[in-house]
Structure 1
Amino acid sequence: MTNNPMFDSLFTALTVGPVTLPNRIVSSAHDTVMTKDGRVTDQLVAYHKARAEGGVGLIVVQAAGVHETARYTSHVLMAADDSCIDGYRRLAEAVHPFGTRMFGQLFHPGREVMDPLEDGSAQVPVAPSAVPQERFHVMPRALLVTEIREIIEGYASAALRLAQAGLDGVEVVASHGYLPAQFLNPRVNHRDDDYGGSPENRARFLHEVVRAVRAKVASRIAVGLRISIGERDPEGLDKQTALTTCTDLADEGLLDYVSVTVGTSASLAGSDHIVPDMNWANGYVTAESRLVKDAVGSLPVFVAGRINQPQEAERILLAGDADACIMTRALISDPRMPRLAKAGKADDIRACIACNQACIGHFHAGFPISCVQRPETGRELLYGTPARTSHPKKVLVIGAGPAGMKAAVIAAQRGHQVRLCEATGRVGGQVLLAERLPGRDEFGGAATNLAHEVQREDIELVLHKRMDVDAVRAEAADVVILATGATPYRPDLDLTDEAVVKDAWDIASGQSMPAGHIVVADWRGDWIGIGVARLLANTHHQVTLAVNGYGAAQMLQQYVRDSALAALHREKITVLSLMRPYGADGDSVYLQHVLTEEPVVLDNVVGLVLACGHRSNTGLLGQLQQAGTPAIAIGDCRTPRTIEEAILEGLTTSSSI
């Protein structure tokens, strides 16, 4: 039982077949981009060890290809031959000393192939039938029966290898429109042989896979199924077919648990549920997990879907909606979450804000995953534990935005004496503006979490303290870190006195615009331009969003972008692509097409809002340099970027002091 009775259910052991989990917190399989040549690396071992050390009950290792045709990315983990066994054994040996159990995921994407081959040429995806999908615009070829049987044997052989490596269980992936789901789905499976045509035939592939896996591993390890109970797509697998599949496999005694999710990789809207952003409610998949629980009786059911706090998980367990909660991004944001909750220190947990920027965002870009709030994630070999200094210094940090707070926290954790000065009356910097935008309210958690860490480390925080050269010298600090941020950048425009022009920060701060048609000029294509456009639309303005790129939200991670574009459509905001602002007068805004240089004139416009990026606040930096006082610039003071780089530089800078 836990030291904190608030979480008694969460920290009750759970029996899953032959395995006992120490608690009900699960890190589900997620690609980390921490493999090399399809094999486990030291980086991947350190990543999972950190979560085991933090107290997670079960880790399901990322999807492992069971056949050579399963290489859906260039960095997929593979379990198609015996060379994988040593790496899996290292993973098991890393997590078992902490009581954490470890399962491996058995995977074939079918037509859901993301990346080209190493030479840049396109792969040859396979599927039950030659039916395209709309997300990656892939047209697969239909599998031969001999290939189907070979892939089934691949699942079974991979399961045996993972058992030989010392893992506690395996999970067959039939979720998110991957190969087993493609066989189940009559819209994707057009076969007329033993593997298609009727519901029984379409289910044959998955049944034969699970039977083959069970035959190889018997009851030595747990065997589970991951499945989408509804793919949230018109062409996707329906709920009833998925539920029937769960029931049939459970009745046959082939499963030890079912892991419930929703969505599909095959479409844009369906794929948003793979890693739902902050626009989705916490625990929003519990209706589906309850359906599965009612269908499979006493078989344990896991549920995913934006469960990022222990109190949310406890509520789900108490309601009987699931037997364990998948809290993957919560553990990316703070691997210590289980241990802190168990010790009654829930306030110390760094809660995930579902921004998707450095976790799934990194994966989609082909880089090792991390977290904007916790850049130590994915960098455990470099920054796993702050090294205490043997030579404490007096550190002055100027600016209490994300960069400054992180720098202060890491410096204090290393044993330095830290003073943090902020010119305004609140910490948080631009996060305080970001959280005011529609669909971004949870983003404020990034500032709240860091502010709590500043308080916990007993750092001296001085508000309303604007620093100049004399004030800096008076501090007599050994190290000066400047995190003074940035201010809005205004391009040179041809403006008349009648033109009403404001910056995005003005709108986010609550300033009003005249009633009528407003144009928002969006240079970067991130959440700022869209956010102020939505704010204005919500106050009954007609809004045109003129973006500098090919489309709105071009710089955002796909799932976040999808939510933003859906909102623009629902709120009837007009989007003009490939535009740059040129000027404005009392009733018109003048734009220029970035490719043709042709003018685009919008008439009957009452105002222009600029979301044209930022300019670093380097005034104090330049003055200190002229005075011969060394200082280190970090975050937007160094050059304007995102919160990810700001917090990362806070970490790296203070780690080197």
Structure 2
Amino acid sequence: MSSSLTHLFEPLKIRHLSIKNRIFSTGHDTTMPTDGTINERLLAYHQARIDGGVGMIVLQVSGVHESARYTTHLLMATDDGCVEGYRKMAQMCHEQDCAVVGQIFHPGREIMEAGEGLLAVAYSASAVPNERFHVMPKPLNQKMIDEISAGYVQAARYMHEAGMDGVEFVASHGYLPAQFMNTQVNLREDQYGGSLENRLRFSVDILQAIREATSDDFIIGMRISADEQDASGLAADEVLQITQALEPHLDYVNLTLGTSASLGGAMHIAPPMAFKAGYVAEQTKIFKDHLNIPVLIAGRINQPQDANVIIEKGQADMCGMTRALICDPKMPQKAADNQFDDIRACIGCNQACIGHFHKGQPISCIQHPQTGREQQYGQLAQAQQTKKVMVIGGGPAGMKAALIAAQRGHQVSLYEQASQLGGQALLAQNLSRRSEFGGLITNLKQALSHQDVSIHLNTPVDAALIQAQQPDEVLLATGAVPYERALEAQDDSVQRLNAWQYLQGASLKGKSVLITDWRCDWIAPGIAESLVKQGFDVTVAINGLCLGETLPLYVRDDLSATAHRLGIRLLHNSRLYGFDAGTVYLQHNTSAEAIELEGIDSIITCDGHVAKDELGEVLEDMGIPLYRLGDCNTPRTAEEAIYEGLKYAAMI
């Protein structure tokens, strides 16, 4: 190894353990466990990151008590049946000099779901409700405190017995230990409330007991939010005081931002694309300056160069790069070998990682759908027979299909009618605060540059070209075009454009703009933000409950916050009907009552797309084996397009 990132690849000592580099995967839910224990799918997921050279893995949370089940798919460390899974994980990590730590966890009032669709019984320091999940907890009595505390200690014993390197006590994001720490949540008048010493008693008793129950070389860390980013949450000065008080009981502190208790605070759990890369480091350096134990941080650190600078500046000792590793498990090794252009950089879209988790599905990545599907696609077999493969369409689906087909040994030609590859992603990157979306295309183009793929730009495909090429198989990825819905319009008093026309540079008439938002995704809000910043007066008619309704939660909530700050007018549950003489007519889609808007100059419609599949029927008539990918199947998102590029190219 001769990486130019000398700080990132310097070993780090935590207690007895020397960790080979400063990159770690933070504890994050994967939705892969099915019975509360580590299964083969989860092992395969982490094996990919171990193979890629990560220095340390922190496992997803393990519940320490039956009341800790904040979702139906977390790990549980409440009986000795968990030990074998932890042992397999530890052995797998240690075989490749990777450290591994398990998170021990109780959410308190922060409970998302319970089994069978019922609401859970929730506990906290006091009966103070959270805002995000609308949970009113029951105050913990001494018997329950003793049970839960013993559960933390027993979970640590199991992990120690299994050969794990340590445990991480989870006090981040407003979970149970933080609820005891927070004067706005802990209203107790007993030995656990009031003074800082009392509010830390719950944590101190547990941490001391873990040390006594394990061994001197067993690592005990703590994850905590450096600032919960909420008016009712722990502020940075309070957290610094807390970490200093707990420092004698800890081997490291792992800092993040935000809280699960509110929509605004929760955005920092997995900050989306709109947040500045590495922004967390600006708020955590004070901890590095005041603590004498290693300080680990995480939050939108998606490039190894950024992580190296953070460590060089003394802002942290180690960088959590979880989504970067989800997107490219081989990122550490590529960085160690100075292959920076080959790193598939995370774009912070949140769609298939935490977006899947919030849907109760195993996590993945829109750019790298092999993530979470390692058992199926982790090692793609070479094709038994080399075939002549024609890929029609150079958007994300076609590019991924060409890449995978070529990697498997096929002779691949890619045809795109436009002058550059990228498809709709080229438009998406023009939206306000979505420029990183273009990285999806940059990453695919870089990967294609290493393969023998014949790329033909400015080349429309018709039956004659297909006949001339005589392909053995065709992967059709011709995409979609904007849906143009019929409107009642008596004149041209109001200009009408679709989203593509605006993003391609069409000029707008007047200053008052209505944007229709049928899909409830990021297109309409992105255009609205751009227009308001240019001085336009903007209204968004949302055909749904809220802005960004179909998007990952933290992306949705960030869009909502930005729209409020910018003063964008939002009409919910409304559909466009027509216009005349400068008046636009809409209909409320639940009450069916009319809505009239006066003085609208221009309408930009974000009404979705229709599949472009004319060539599909031609190919079927020609009898050529055909796979349809992405939007030409039915218009969806880049995630489905890239996944189908992988799926069908792997079948040839």
Same fold (TM over 0.5): yes
The SS at the match of 2:117 is coil
Q: Displacement of 1:240 after TM fit? A: 2.1
Aligned partner of 1:110 among 104, 108, 111: 108
Counterpart of 1:538, as a letter, is K
Structure 1, unmatched stretches of 5+, are: none
Q: Distance in 2 between matches of 1:380 and 1:642?
A: 22
| Other-structure match for 2:444 | 450
- The 8 Å contact of residues 226 and 257 in structure 2, kept in 1 or not, is answered as yes
Q: Displacement of 1:558 after TM fit? A: 1.0
The SS at the match of 2:24 is strand
| Other-structure match for 1:214 | 211
Q: Displacement of 1:537 after TM fit? A: 1.8
Q: Displacement of 1:586 after TM fit? A: 4.2
Counterpart of 1:565, as a letter, is S
- The 8 Å contact of residues 587 and 593 in structure 2, kept in 1 or not, is answered as yes
The SS at the match of 1:273 is helix
| Other-structure match for 1:612 | 607
Q: Displacement of 1:635 after TM fit? A: 0.3
Aligned partner of 2:180 among 180, 183, 189: 183
The SS at the match of 2:466 is helix
- The 8 Å contact of residues 584 and 608 in structure 1, kept in 2 or not, is answered as no
Q: Distance in 1 between matches of 2:157 and 2:591?
A: 60
- The 8 Å contact of residues 260 and 288 in structure 1, kept in 2 or not, is answered as no
Give the aligned CA root-mean-square deviation in angstroms: 1.1
Q: Displacement of 1:535 after TM fit? A: 2.3
- The 8 Å contact of residues 472 and 625 in structure 2, kept in 1 or not, is answered as no
| Other-structure match for 2:277 | 282
- The 8 Å contact of residues 588 and 606 in structure 1, kept in 2 or not, is answered as no
Residue 543 (str. 1) matches residue 538 (str. 2): yes
- The 8 Å contact of residues 160 and 217 in structure 1, kept in 2 or not, is answered as yes
Q: Displacement of 1:95 after TM fit? A: 2.2
| Other-structure match for 2:25 | 27
The SS at the match of 1:214 is helix
Q: Distance in 2 between matches of 1:75 and 1:207?
A: 29
Residue 157 (str. 1) matches residue 154 (str. 2): yes
Q: Number of paired residues? A: 651
Counterpart of 2:31, as a letter, is V
| Other-structure match for 1:170 | 167
Q: Displacement of 1:623 after TM fit? A: 2.2
Q: Displacement of 1:497 after TM fit? A: 3.5
Aligned partner of 1:502 among 491, 497, 500: 497
Write out aligned runs for 1:36-435 (5 A).
36-116=34-114, 118-250=115-247, 252=248, 254-297=249-292, 299-435=293-429
- The 8 Å contact of residues 472 and 624 in structure 2, kept in 1 or not, is answered as no
Q: Displacement of 1:241 after TM fit? A: 2.2
- The 8 Å contact of residues 362 and 372 in structure 2, kept in 1 or not, is answered as yes
Q: Displacement of 1:246 after TM fit? A: 1.3
Q: Displacement of 1:607 after TM fit? A: 1.5
The SS at the match of 2:200 is helix
Q: Distance in 1 between matches of 2:330 and 2:454?
A: 25
Q: Distance in 1 between matches of 2:185 and 2:508?
A: 50
Moved more, 374-383 or 562-571: 562-571
Q: Displacement of 1:267 after TM fit? A: 0.4
Structure 2, unmatched stretches of 5+, are: none
Q: Distance in 2 between matches of 1:226 and 1:349?
A: 28
The SS at the match of 2:575 is strand
The 3 A distance-change label for structure 1 pair 629 and 390 is closer
- The 8 Å contact of residues 416 and 456 in structure 2, kept in 1 or not, is answered as yes
Q: Displacement of 1:619 after TM fit? A: 1.3
Q: Distance in 2 between matches of 1:20 and 1:476?
A: 58
Q: Displacement of 1:404 after TM fit? A: 0.3
Q: Distance in 2 between matches of 1:483 and 1:302?
A: 43
Counterpart of 1:48, as a letter, is H
The SS at the match of 1:272 is helix
Q: Distance in 2 between matches of 1:486 and 1:625?
A: 19
- The 8 Å contact of residues 19 and 221 in structure 1, kept in 2 or not, is answered as no
- The 8 Å contact of residues 60 and 102 in structure 1, kept in 2 or not, is answered as yes
Moved more, 41-50 or 494-503: 494-503
Q: Distance in 1 between matches of 2:297 and 2:117?
A: 37
Q: Distance in 1 between matches of 2:261 and 2:430?
A: 33
| Other-structure match for 2:462 | 468
Q: Distance in 1 between matches of 2:290 and 2:176?
A: 23
Counterpart of 2:317, as a letter, is D
| Other-structure match for 2:487 | 493
Q: Displacement of 1:626 after TM fit? A: 3.0
Q: Distance in 1 between matches of 2:416 and 2:379?
A: 27
The SS at the match of 1:112 is coil
Moved more, 306-315 or 241-250: 241-250
Residues 254-305 of structure 1 deviation map (CA, whole Å, 9 limit, x = unaligned)? 21111011111000000110000111111111133311112212x1111111
- The 8 Å contact of residues 289 and 302 in structure 1, kept in 2 or not, is answered as no
- The 8 Å contact of residues 169 and 223 in structure 1, kept in 2 or not, is answered as yes
Residue 596 (str. 1) matches residue 591 (str. 2): yes
Q: Distance in 2 between matches of 1:550 and 1:255?
A: 46
Q: Displacement of 1:594 after TM fit? A: 1.0
Counterpart of 2:150, as a letter, is E
Q: Distance in 2 between matches of 1:535 and 1:621?
A: 37
